[in-house]
Amino acid sequence: MIFDRDIETFIRAFAKEVEENNAAVFVGAGLSVGAGHVDWRGLLKPIAEDLGLDVEREHDLIALAQYHRNEEGNRAKLNRILINEFARDAQLSENHRLLSRLPISAYWTTNYDKLIEKALEEAGKRPDVKHADNQLAFTRPGRDAVVYKMHGDIDHPDQAVLIKDDYEKYHQAHQLFLTALGGDLVSKTFLFLGFSFSDPNLDYILGRVRVSLGENVRGHYAILRRVQRPDAEDNTDYQYLLRQQELFIGDLKRFGIKALLIDRHEQITEILRRIHEMHRRKSVLISGAAHDYGRWSAQDAEAFIRQIGNRLASGGF
């Protein structure tokens, strides 16, 4: 599949960042939806019904969760909904598998599920999962990648970042996560996946980090689905959504993020597959064993193998 010039350029550029260990990914709810979990609206639909509201008419879903907390006096039902939805098994998507096979050392996510770490383990890697600030001070021996779950983990629903109170206090309660994310945003090139332009998490995250970074912004990428005609009620609504997305894409530039537009979510899989194939082309496995080296001595044979390895390394393999 041939993509437009921007995406083709991105594939080459990001594959190079992957090879140089300068790449990171930030995964939003959209990637988990592809694996069988609900999106934010689906998650909060019963909460909206409790409040006598229609979740499809609500734009601030974080405020919706807060309203329920206010009405109930606690977040017990919110926690129960999280457990019911994300504690169940979901099938890994091809996107999770492709991401896990790349030599990426930092996976950031606002998702509560365990799909990223599960994919890494399936790929034979050892993930070091961080969902609380105190875990950042410790390193799992032999880790291959760090999974930063900055909004918590389903095993601890009471600590999940979910309502407005949590977001407003985040900079105090989770300062170490913000510091770590700020460091990665300066030193690594990020690919944002699974975020829509109406996702409430994106604004909160980028707003927090931009305050601390100022103008020291590295170039990053976000893959977004282009607004489609069926998304709108009529042509006037369609033109409105197009303009809204255009403005959002322009706003992303403040954070050094270049938007890459696709028409179908399935195209994300093809983009990741292309990046993975470029990485595999530069990976060479040399293996063998011998008891008899013929006219060669064991020392000469080992020296020859070292020379092959050095030549491959110098060629970027």
pTM: 0.85
CA dihedral 16, 131, 198, 168 (to 10 degrees): -130
Long-range contacts of 154-159 (CB under 8 A, 24+ apart): 154/82, 154/83, 154/86, 154/87, 154/112, 154/113, 154/114, 156/131, 156/132, 157/78, 157/79, 157/80, 157/82, 157/83, 157/112, 158/75, 158/79, 159/131, 159/132
Catalytic residue among 151, 156, 174, 279: 151
Percent of the chain with pLDDT over 70: 90
| Contacts with 272 (C-beta within 8 Å, 6 or more apart), sequence order | 95, 98, 99
- Residue 312 scores a pLDDT above 60: no
DSSP secondary structure string for all residues of 30-50: HHHHTTT---HHHHHHHHHHH
Q: Any catalytic annotation for residue 265?
A: no
3 state SS for 135-148: HHHCCCCCCCEEEE
| Nearest alpha-carbon partner for 224 in 195, 202, 199, 256 | 195
What mean pLDDT do residues 284-307 have?
A: 72
Q: CA-CA distance, 157 to 138, in Å (whole number)? A: 22
pLDDT at 182: 86
pLDDT at 313: 55
Q: For the segment 85-125, what is each residue's pLDDT rounded down to a tens digit?
A: 887 777 899 999 999 999 999 999 999 999 999 999 999 99
pLDDT at 217: 73
> Where exactly are the structural domains of the chain?
5-281, 285-317
Q: For the segment 169-226, what is each residue's pLDDT rounded down to a tens digit?
A: 988 899 899 889 888 988 999 999 988 756 566 677 777 777 767 766 789 999 999 9
43 half-sphere exposure, CB direction, 13 A CA radius: 27
How are strands ordered across the β-sheet holding 189-193? 127-130, 145-149, 106-109, 23-27, 189-193, 220-225, 257-262
pLDDT at 171: 84
Note whether 86 and 37 are within 8 A (CB).
Answer: yes
Q: For the segment 218-228, what is each residue's pLDDT rounded down to a tens digit?
A: 899 999 999 99
| Contacts with 162 (C-beta within 8 Å, 6 or more apart), sequence order | 62, 65, 75, 78, 82, 151
pLDDT at 240: 94
- Beta-carbon count within 10 A of 290 CB: 9
pLDDT at 144: 97
3-state SS assignment for residue 261: strand
Confidence of residue 34 (pLDDT cuts 50, 70, 90): confident
Helix (H) or strand (E) holding 259: strand 257-262
